[in-house]
Every structure is written in C-alpha cells, then in structure tokens.
Amino acid sequence: MNNTLNLIESNGQYLADSREIAELIGKRHSDLIRTIKSYIDTITTNAKLRSLDFFIPSTYEDGKGELRPHYLLTKKGCEMVANKMTGEKGVLFTAEYVTRFNEMEHHLQTGYSQLSPQLQHMIRLEQKQNEQDKRLGKLEDNLSIDSFQQNVIQKQIKKRVYEIRDRYDDSPEGTRRLFSSIYRNFRDAFAVPSYRDLRKLDFEDAKAWIKTWRPLI
C-alpha cells in the first residue's frame, strides 16, 4: 500500500487524487468513486452546501488511452472520507492527509512571506476582490425573481393548467381548483409564500417543475 499522498495545486488550493486515496486506504478505486457519488447525492439535497467544496469531478487517461473518471478531493473532502473510516486504516489516512495539507499550507504561507510588500498587497487585494465577488454571487442567488420572471412563471402555470384540465375537470370550478392546487404545490415545492418570492437561483428549476406538474388525486 502506498503511504504517501501527493497533493495537486489548483486555483490556489491543494487537492488530493481519489486514485491515490484509494491506494492509501486499501480500497478499490471504483468502490471509492461510488462512495463519493453517494456523498455528492446527499450534499446536493442541501441548498447551502456545494459538492465542489468537497469533491471535484475530473478524468484521466488510462493505459489504453481511454478517459476514466476520478475525483480531486479538497481538505474537506478528505475529512469526509476519513470520518467514515474506522480502525488502523482510518487513523493512518487521517494522519497522512492532515500532515500533507498542513505541509503544503505552511509552504504556501512561507512562500507568501518571502514576496515583496508590493506583491503581498496585490495578492491581498485580489483575495479581497474574490471574496467580495463570492458574497455578491450569493446575494444575487438569494434575490427574488424580477417582474419579467414573475410574468414567465405565471404564464407557464396558466399554460400547464389549460394543458391538463381536460383530463381532470374542465368546468370553471374544476379549473379554479387546478389553479389553487398548482400554486399551493409550487409554494410547498420551493418553500416560498408566493411564486413572486421565488429565488432567481431556482427560476429554471421552477419552469421545469411546472412543465411536469400534475395534481395529487
């Protein structure tokens, strides 16, 4: 079993290859891939979490020249894998990834301290700008849809009701019940008090939801 974890630097962060992790913990890479996919499926059920903060999908070329899937794991991703392991292998893997990430972070900090004050200042400004961009991105995602998007949602709801009402009850009262039902289901599906409060982030998902909506009978 390989006892060394080599980290890859990408976009200012260090990442571990799932192939090396599989070898380090004595597990088949295909099995680790399945485990990581199950973690991603769980993470994506929480809107506040991003699977890319843990696992980054990638590919590599095997001996036959064919592309195969693998993952690049952040420190958080390694922690998640380690937290599910028990016994000696879990302890050794935890010790290895913690040591390697700490070494690389120390190396990065040491290299940074050796830069000129001007370059350090430029890096700090760039980091600050990136943080501001991330915060603005999150704020924009949480904004409610604008009047144009509200109109789109309203028209799609109307179109969907008239598409399916013949299958249920096309009387005026039946149509009113369908409208009441779809608006109620919409509010429940997207956890909003009104369709007007839908997040911009959920706009495309909402349109897809409307297209497949059916009343519960």
- In this predicted model, what pLDDT tens digit does every residue of 64-74 receive, in sequence order? 888 899 999 98
Q: According to the model, what pLDDT value does residue 34 have?
A: 92
Instruction: Kindly tell me the sign of the dihedral angle through the C-alpha atoms of 156, 158, 162, 165.
Output: positive
**At 124, is the pLDDT very low, low, confident or very high (cuts 50, 70, 90)?**
low
Kindly report which listed range (40-44, 109-113, 189-193) carries the lowest average pLDDT score. 109-113
Of 167, 174, 173, the C-alpha closest to 214 is 167
Residue 129: band (very low, low, confident or very high) from pLDDT cuts 50, 70, 90: confident
Q: What pLDDT score does 44 carry?
A: 87
| pTM of the shown model | 0.47
Q: What percent of the chain has pLDDT over 70?
A: 80
Mean pLDDT of 176-182: 93
User: Highest-confidence range of 4-8, 62-66, 84-88, 120-124, by mean pLDDT?
Assistant: 62-66
Mean pLDDT of the chain: 82
pLDDT band for 128, please (50, 70, 90 cuts). Answer: confident
In this predicted model, which residue has the larger pLDDT, 47 or 128?
47
Give the chain's radius of gyration (CA, Å): 25
* pLDDT tens digits, 131-170: 776 666 666 666 888 899 999 999 999 999 999 988 888 8
Block residue for tokens 């897809």: 208
User: Residue 19 has what pLDDT?
Assistant: 92
- β-pair partners for 176: none
DSSP assignment of 55-110 equals: EEEEEEE-TTS-EEEEEEE-HHHHHHHHHT--HHHHHHHHHHHHHHHHHHHHHHHH
